[in-house]
Structure 1
Amino acid sequence: MKEVKIGGVPEHFNLAWYLTLKNGEYKNEGINLRWHDYHGGTGAMCKALREGDIDIAVILTEGIIKDIIAGNPSKIVQTFVETPLIWGVHVAHHSKYKSVEDLKGTKAAISRYGSGSHLMAYINAQNNDWDLDKDLNFEVIKNLNGAVEGLTNRAADYFLWEKYTTKPIVDDGVFRRIGECPSPWPCFVIAVREEFIENDQNDLRTILNIINATTSEFKHIPSIDRMIANRYEQQLEDVQDWLTITEWSQEIIDEPTIMNVQKELRALDIIPEIVPYERLIHKLNP
């Protein structure tokens, strides 16, 4: 049986992978798909793809584009979540800061450089007309638990992370959410190491067919809202809100979207150049 290693964040977006694994759908096709949780998010997965620790990643669009341009030997094969990610802007409950405007020139907690929390801090700064050289400072905190510790201990002042994932921490009075910053593009894509694409295209196609069959009907799974609420310790009404605004995709990410992401990242000086669509994307044969 072919072993394939895949990584993603342990969040509600990826429940479809858990369900297909639990049902043994990949093993039925002769594939031993091994899921790895990456609490450190996109930066940690980029490193894992580079080092061959995983073959496939369900990863933030902007993060993997930046890392492929920087030499990651991977390609995007599909959009996974079509809708933007709603990033909450969080401060510690005891923080003196009351609005996003108050955060100008303070220190952002980031999981690591090149991560979504790092890149979206730039988007948030741009949205608020800050000076990107003078008004952005960073403290690396590794993951969500590190952010809780860092903000509570005043090692950093604010933290961008997916709104619904952090909602329980807000509800518990650890964080306050003082703003939101939607990503201006589809949030998650599926990226694959080039070596795996070249050598295991049939297995990759099978894996995508299985996950796409589940995501295409995900919202219609009986009691899916209760399943998500229980598994990820979220309020049912929050899950229902999230399901309303979230759409999965079974298609390749298109060229205008890829170029738009690159233009945004280039304007923020996050990438050194804009590269051709074909350097970032691999279209699987049907």
Structure 2
Amino acid sequence: MKKFLIGGVPEHFNLPWYIALRDKKFQKEGINLRWKDYPGGTGQMVRALREKEIDMAVILTEGMVRDIINGNDSKIVQVFVKSPLLWGIHVAAASDYEEVGDLKGTKAAISRFGSGSHLMAFVNAENHDWDLKNDLKFKVIQDLDGALEGLPNGNGDYFMWEKFMTKPYVDNGTFRLVGESPTPWPSFVIAVRNDVLENESEAIKSILKAINGVTENFKNLEGIDEMIAKRYGQKIEDVREWLSLTEWSDRQLTSKELKNIQQKLVELDLIENKIQETSILHNF
């Protein structure tokens, strides 16, 4: 049985992988797949791919595209979640900031440089016509736990993270939500190291077939809303809203979507040059 290690954030988007593993969907394809949580998100996972710590990752689209352009020897094999990611813009509950405009020139708490929270701070700044060189400052806090501890103590002024994952901390009075910023592209993709693609192409196809079989019917699974609410500490009404907004996928990024992502990364000075589509996407 072929062994593979896949990384992803421990969030509700990735629950289909847990269900597929629980139901031995990969074993039925002759695959011994193991999951590794990366609470630090994109920046942590791109490093794990580069260091061959994992074979593949479920990762934020813009972060993976950027890191491939910057030399990560991996390719995107398909979109995993095609709906945009809804980033919440959070401040400490006791802070004086009341709206997004108040955050101009303050410090964004980010998990890592090159992470989704880092990249989306640029997108948000551009959306509000801030000066990208002078109005953006950063404080690295590693992950959500780092923000929960740091923001109330003044380590960073605002924190961008997926709105529904942070909702319990808004409800309990740790954070206050002052705005939202959706990604202008599909939120999550599946990326695989190039050496793994070259040597184990058929096995990767089998892994995709198994997970796509789960996501196809995921929303219709009996009691899935209750399972998510319990597992991630969410209110059932928030879970139902999130499910209504979230769409999984089994297709590849389109040329138009990739062009849009690269163009945006160039405009934000997050990459110097665009590269060929064939260097970023792998089509079976």
Q: TM-score range by the shorter chain?
A: over 0.9
Deviation at 1:28, TM superposition (A): 2.1
Structure 2 SS opposite 1:177: strand
1:151 corresponds to which letter in structure 2? L
Q: What is the alpha-carbon distance in structure 2 between the residues aligned to residue 30 and residue 124 of structure 1?
A: 44
Q: What is the alpha-carbon distance in structure 2 between the residues aligned to residue 106 and residue 96 of structure 1?
A: 12
Deviation at 1:223, TM superposition (A): 1.1
Query: In the alignment, is residue 170 of structure 1 matched against residue 191 of structure 2?
Result: no
Deviation at 1:31, TM superposition (A): 1.2
Q: What is the alpha-carbon distance in structure 1 between the residues aligned to residue 254 and residue 95 of structure 2?
A: 42
In the TM superposition, what are the counterparts of 1:247-258 in structure 2 within 5 Å? 247-258=247-258
Deviation at 1:29, TM superposition (A): 2.2
1:135 corresponds to which letter in structure 2? D
Deviation at 1:275, TM superposition (A): 1.0
Q: What is the alpha-carbon distance in structure 1 between the residues aligned to residue 240 and residue 149 of structure 2?
A: 29
Unaligned runs of 5+ in 1: none
In the TM superposition, what are the counterparts of 1:180-191 in structure 2 within 5 Å? 180-191=180-191
Residue 219 of structure 1: aligned partner: 219
Residue 274 of structure 1: aligned partner: 274
Residue 207 of structure 2: aligned partner: 207
Residue 48 of structure 2: aligned partner: 48
Residue 11 of structure 1: aligned partner: 11
Structure 2 SS opposite 1:185: coil
After superposition, the C-alpha distances for 1:34-81 in whole angstroms (9 at most, x for unaligned) are 100000000000000000011110000000000000000000000000
Structure 1 SS opposite 2:179: strand
After superposition, the C-alpha distances for 1:229-276 in whole angstroms (9 at most, x for unaligned) are 111110000000001011001001111000000001100000111111
After superposition, the C-alpha distances for 1:162-192 in whole angstroms (9 at most, x for unaligned) are 0000000111100000000000000000000
After superposition, the C-alpha distances for 1:79-113 in whole angstroms (9 at most, x for unaligned) are 00000000000000110000000000000000000
Structure 2 SS opposite 1:189: strand
Q: What is the alpha-carbon distance in structure 1 between the residues aligned to residue 69 and residue 224 of structure 2?
A: 37
Residue 140 of structure 1: aligned partner: 140
**TM-score, scaled to structure 1:** 0.99
Q: What is the alpha-carbon distance in structure 2 between the residues aligned to residue 185 and residue 119 of structure 1?
A: 13
Residue 231 of structure 1: aligned partner: 231
In the TM superposition, what are the counterparts of 1:38-77 in structure 2 within 5 Å? 38-77=38-77
2:209 corresponds to which letter in structure 1? N
Q: What is the alpha-carbon distance in structure 1 between the residues aligned to residue 56 and residue 145 of structure 2?
A: 25
Residue 96 of structure 2: aligned partner: 96
Q: What is the alpha-carbon distance in structure 2 between the residues aligned to residue 79 and residue 195 of structure 1?
A: 20
Q: What is the alpha-carbon distance in structure 2 between the residues aligned to residue 147 and residue 272 of structure 1?
A: 30
Q: What is the alpha-carbon distance in structure 1 between the residues aligned to residue 31 and residue 247 of structure 2?
A: 27
Structure 2 SS opposite 1:79: strand
- % of aligned pairs identical? 57
1:110 corresponds to which letter in structure 2? I
**TM-score, scaled to structure 2:** 0.99
CA RMSD of aligned residues (A): 0.6
Number of aligned residue pairs: 284
Structure 2 SS opposite 1:54: coil
Q: What is the alpha-carbon distance in structure 2 between the residues aligned to residue 62 and residue 28 of structure 1?
A: 33
The runs of 4+ residues in structure 1 deviating greater than 4 Å are none
Q: What is the alpha-carbon distance in structure 1 between the residues aligned to residue 216 and residue 276 of structure 2?
A: 30
Q: What is the alpha-carbon distance in structure 2 between the residues aligned to residue 269 and residue 115 of structure 1?
A: 15
In the TM superposition, what are the counterparts of 1:125-136 in structure 2 within 5 Å? 125-136=125-136
